[in-house]
Structures are given as structure tokens and as C-alpha cells.
Structure 1
């Protein structure tokens, strides 16, 4: 018997075999065309329904300026919880640990927060960073280079030498806060909720991380770059700032060239102002002919000091005004000098119970992050002591 997907050859003992083959091919072609028409009927019906739906009144045309699916999904989640999301919207969210309450964050949301974090923490954008899947990480460090030059004669004895390695252990710590938002604000469709929440999370988290990365003591928080300033080489400046420009030049050339080529300056805004005041006047007196300070040529680009970028950190100290020692300026290759470790980039959830009596919804978030100095020789400090 003939089928739609097979050729049947008959041997009648008579007739033309070529004609028989041609007939079979023609019948197969008709069968395939009929099958394709039947398969496309359902697709055609579906397209007709979609077209009719689009032609209904009050249907708005597509607008490139409308929020993306990720933004809409996040806003719906913040207002109504995970249960309000359909399957497609769930796929736009990265669902976290279920036992932790279903933490969610869109890729777009996380990127926005990280970009804003860098504005508050210069080290977040300058230091080396990695993401890990455990509580802590061990990073091998080179404590001592292999010694000896190793020159030998053709048949002379070869002696062994080996470097000494160590390990740097960096633990991660949790930073968790929440933002209370009124229920009515969440229900207001005209509010750009994504930008509102992202801005506040970035501001609060950024300030906390920036302080820990610079001066954290490692007790429940990251160990800061300047937690132990005596571990670095330093150049001593007068507490009144009278010789600050000359000392900055000394610090620049005290740092090994391979680090200075990628170096950045970090200091308080007040220290920047002091340097700018005395820079031009000091050039002639110290015998330096090059430019000391140059403002950024484009909006948002940092100023440069001796050709290297300058970044502001409110957590740096100033020149001493009372008895004691301060470290107001650090210059170094921050990627080599400091290591940031991210465990949980960002996790948020909505708590609509604990503040319900007051009409408040709490947007909670948490991050797990660690940090520690990596290579002390990659940075140099300006030190100042007042008796």
C-alpha cells in the first residue's frame, strides 16, 4: 500500500519503469503539499487572532522609551510579590535561594547599582575584584623571589633555588539593610520605582563599602587598604602642608615604575584643594618644570596629579591639626595593592508584613563581600606627624 512518505515501485512486467517512478514522485509531492497546508493552518489561525487583538481600540503602539520586560517584572514583584509574575516575567529575574525568601534581582537592576557604587567607592572601580562561590578564598602570594643570578660555565654546577610562597585568606562579610517605602508610593504607576530604589541602595551600600575598603579593621567587615599604614613605604610631609608638592613628587618616584605606570592618587577633597593652591607657586621653588595638577578635560573624568588620576575618598585622613600621625594621601597601583571578593552581588526581597500596620513596605537587600590588602609594595603613602 502507498504511503505519503515512501515510494512504492511496482513490477508489472509491462510498462515503462521511468514513467512509474515519475508517477510516484508526483503523488508524493501532492501528499507533502497537503500535509504542509494542514500544519500551517493552526499557525495562520493564531496569527489572525493576534492581528485582531492588535486592531482593538485603546491598544497603544510599541514605544522604545517604555520600560523593558525586566523593569516591569521587578516593579510588579516589588508591589505584589513573586506570585504576581507570569512565567515569562519569572524568567527575566534571577531567582535566588528559595529558603532565603526568594531573593530576586534583574541583571539590569544589578548593573545599575554596581555602576553607582563605583561613584562612592574609588577602590570598587580601581582594585582587583573576583566573584567566589564559597565563604572565603585563599590567594597565593609571593613572599620571596628566587635568589641568585644563576650564571654558570658550560659544565659548571647548577644550584637550585626556589621562591617562597604564602597564602592570603580573604573572608566575606554580610552587609544587610532595608528601605521603608509607603504602600501608596508602590501603588503609584507614575513613579520610576526602579531608579528610586537603586539610587538609595547604591548610596547607602556604597558609603559603607567605601569606608570598609579604605579603613576597615577586618572585624565583621573587610580589611581596609590603610588598616595598617605602617606596612607601606611612606614619605613624610610637614603638617602645615608647606612642602606637600615636593613630597608628592618624592612619593611618585618612590613607587616602582611598573606600579607607577598604573598608579592612582586617593585623598580627601580638602587635600586636593590644598595641593591646587600651592602647586603652581611651588613649581619654581622645587626645580620641577612639568605640570603638577591638571583638571579633567571631559565631564566626569578625574583630574590628574603628575599625570596620574586623582580620586576622592572622604574616608582618608587630613594633615594633622593635633598631636599625632596621619596618612592623608595614598598613591599606588590599586589593582595590585587591593583585592575585593564578592560572594553575593545583590539580593533583595519585599517585606510587606512587619510594617503593614503603618502602611509601609520594607525593601530589604543584602550583599556578601570581602576585601584585603594584596601587595604592599604596590602603594606608597604621604605621612605627616605633629608633635
Structure 2
């Protein structure tokens, strides 16, 4: 009895190699497709259909076209297992494991890393607390007695008449003002954050409150905030210099010696870094660095005419703005501890409020501070006034 087999069956054939079996099957398929295409062409087949069949034929002739998706997955599985065991990989296995590939080719084996810290920006503020006087008070208003006219005596003869004399006094009123902020944060963010968010917020509140009060101590207008010493520059004796810096060294020497020695011996220079750069460049060129000297150790201020120079970001620039160009007050020198008084009523307080925003899943950090400041003895400090003409 004769047997009938299809074109893809080779049970009675001598070919037993699976690769040869697949190759012969592809050859037979290709031959069959060619015969059908020729037959159809003679019947006037649609050219588009002929193009599609041609592409299918080309695809079937590609090496490895008969490989199934299951075979590819098996290769990926073997590659990952070999990688995890530390075994060497051949070329194909190595290509199947890539970081930028799909999860099945090893992308899930690489996890990102997050640091449990926040990179914070620099917060700069004038070091008024380092040079002024500060004291804690138990009330919201303080009156400081200030000496007015001093008593005076007269020279007299042995039996001559003596005149009476008494000193007089004034007083400076300093109010404590409140500075406050509310920081709302979602409860889930506080719970899930990998950083200490509460500690970060506390640190930022302290820095920003310090910056705000330092600015007020320098230029505050006294309206709901401390009164800065530059709010009323007319209260101080002044030395006038040109804004182009052409005579600034001579004027610095005049400013230094315009202050009584008792104050000058305790005096400090207050200016921003831009002004410092102008002075230093001219001092080095003119005096070979004699007027200006750097600090002897890290963290210690530079010295100008032997007295410390403090970097005060809230001080005005040497050159003014506007038209006509406005006068500025870029430099102050003197005994700030005698000139300016800071009062501390309440330090920085931070209260965590878990209730008022609870309906919306919000936790509020409420911060406040009560502080005041005012000029009490303007004679202890001299200002440099900068104008276009220098007069």
C-alpha cells in the first residue's frame, strides 16, 4: 500500500538533522510560492498583491526566520540565569542582556539610587547679630535711657560762687515685632519621604528668619519691622566719596580717623563683596596691600586699616541707580555694639499643626519670631556717602 506525504513531511527521508529539515522545508515553500506567482502573473494578478507576496518571500528567506518567539524567550531566560550565577556569556547571550532594553532583557536588574539628603542653596545675610548688641526682654516694648547733655563744672576762686549742674537724659523706644510663616505639607509626603523633611523645614525656617531680620536691622523702615540704621543716614556723620572709586582710598582713611579712638578701637567695617573688590584692587595697586590684609586663618575676616571687614550683603553698592544717579551709602565703620541695639522677645518657635488641615491630609508647620532693633547711639558709627561728583 503506497503512502502519501505532504511537502513538509520527511519521515522516510535520510535527512535527520533538524537544521537540514527546516532548510529543505523553506526551499520547498519558496519553490511553491514561485510557481504560484508565475501562474498568477499569467492571469493578470493585481501588481499590489504581487508586491506583498514578494515581500513575504523575502522575509521567509531571511536566516533565522523560522525561530519562534518561545525560542527567543528561552534564550533570554538562559542568559539571565547564567548572568546571575556568574557564568561567562557568549556573544548572543551578552547581547540579550542590556540596561536600556526591556524588563525581560535585564533592565529590571538595575535600580536607581536616591540620596537621603537635600542639596540646599546658600542663604546669605548680613552678620548684624555678630557686631551689634542683643538682649532678651520680657515684654513687647523696651525703653532705653540715653545720656543727653553731660554735667559740666566751672573753675572758681577759693570763695567764689559755685554753679549747679546736672546731666539730662533721653530715651529710645524699641518695639518687638513678629515675623511668621506657615508651611503646609501633605501628611503622606511626611510619611513616605526618604529624607528628614521635618528637620529640613526647621533648618530652612531658621535660616530664612535670620535673613529677614538681618535685612531689617540694616534697611528696615520700622513699619511692622525693626528700624535699620540705613533708614535714617542723616543721623550719622558722613564722608563723601566718588562713585567711580577714584578717591576711595583717601576717603577710607578720612572715614577711619573721623571716628573717635574709643569707637575706632572697637570698630568694624560693614560693606558688601562688590565694594570690597573695588577697595582691595585699588589698595593692592596703590599701597602693595598695606591697607588691606586677608584673615590669618579660615573663617576670620579680612582687615582694612587694621580693623575687621564684615561681608554685609544688605549694604548698598558703591554706584547708584536712576537718572540722575542716586547717592548711596556703601560703607559703614564704627562700634556697632554701641550704635545698634537688638531685643529678643521670643526666639524662633515652630509648632506642628496636625489638625486644622487634617480634612485635606495637610500638616501645617507654624513658625514665629518676635524681635526688634533700633539705633541708640549714632555717634559710634560713621557712614561713607557715594555720589557721582564726590561732594
TM-score normalized with structure 2 length: 0.63
Correspondence for 1:310: 309
- CA displacement, residues 81-117 of structure 1 (integer Å, 9 cap, x when unaligned): xxxxxxxxxxxxxxxxxxxxxxxxxxxxxxxxxxx99
Correspondence for 1:139: 144
Correspondence for 1:228: 232
2:172 aligned with 1:168, yes or no? Answer: yes
Say which SS state the counterpart of residue 229 (structure 2) adopts: coil
1:294, distance to aligned residue in structure 2 (A): 1.5
Correspondence for 1:152: 156
Contact 1:213–1:224 (CA under 8 A) maintained in structure 2: yes
Contact 1:265–1:310 (CA under 8 A) maintained in structure 2: yes
Contact 2:294–2:303 (CA under 8 A) maintained in structure 1: yes
Q: Give the Cα–Cα distance (whole angstroms) in 2 for the partners of residues 324 and 336 of structure 1.
A: 29
Correspondence for 1:111: none
Q: Which moved more, 1:246-255 or 1:176-185?
A: 176-185
1:293, distance to aligned residue in structure 2 (A): 1.4
Match of 2:278 among 246, 261, 274: 274
Backbone CA RMSD of aligned residues: 2.3
2:128 aligned with 1:129, yes or no? Answer: no
Identify if the C-alpha distance between structure 1 residues 245 and 278 changes in structure 2 by more than 3 Å, giving closer, same or farther: same
1:188, distance to aligned residue in structure 2 (A): 6.0
Identify if the C-alpha distance between structure 1 residues 275 and 145 changes in structure 2 by more than 3 Å, giving closer, same or farther: same
Q: Give the Cα–Cα distance (whole angstroms) in 2 for the partners of residues 268 and 277 of structure 1.
A: 15
- CA displacement, residues 115-170 of structure 1 (integer Å, 9 cap, x when unaligned): x99x734111211111111110110011212234x333443322211122101111
Q: Give the Cα–Cα distance (whole angstroms) in 1 for the partners of residues 276 and 206 of structure 2.
A: 25
> Runs of 5+ in structure 1 lacking a partner?
1-115, 285-289
Match of 1:373 among 352, 372, 375: 375
1:356, distance to aligned residue in structure 2 (A): 4.0
Contact 2:125–2:314 (CA under 8 A) maintained in structure 1: no
TM-score normalized with structure 1 length: 0.64
Contact 1:127–1:336 (CA under 8 A) maintained in structure 2: yes
- CA displacement, residues 349-368 of structure 1 (integer Å, 9 cap, x when unaligned): 11224444664422111111
Correspondence for 1:338: 340
Say which SS state the counterpart of residue 281 (structure 1) adopts: helix
Q: Give the Cα–Cα distance (whole angstroms) in 2 for the partners of residues 193 and 160 of structure 1.
A: 68
Correspondence for 2:206: 202
Matches of residues 1-387 of structure 1 in structure 2 within 5 Å?
A: 120-148=125-153, 150-184=154-188, 186-187=190-191, 191-192=195-196, 195-283=199-287, 291-322=290-321, 323-356=325-358, 359-386=361-388
Q: Give the Cα–Cα distance (whole angstroms) in 1 for the partners of residues 355 and 263 of structure 2.
A: 53
Contact 1:171–1:370 (CA under 8 A) maintained in structure 2: yes
Q: Give the Cα–Cα distance (whole angstroms) in 1 for the partners of residues 225 and 349 of structure 2.
A: 18
Contact 2:156–2:162 (CA under 8 A) maintained in structure 1: yes
Compare CA radii of gyration and give the structure with the larger one: 2
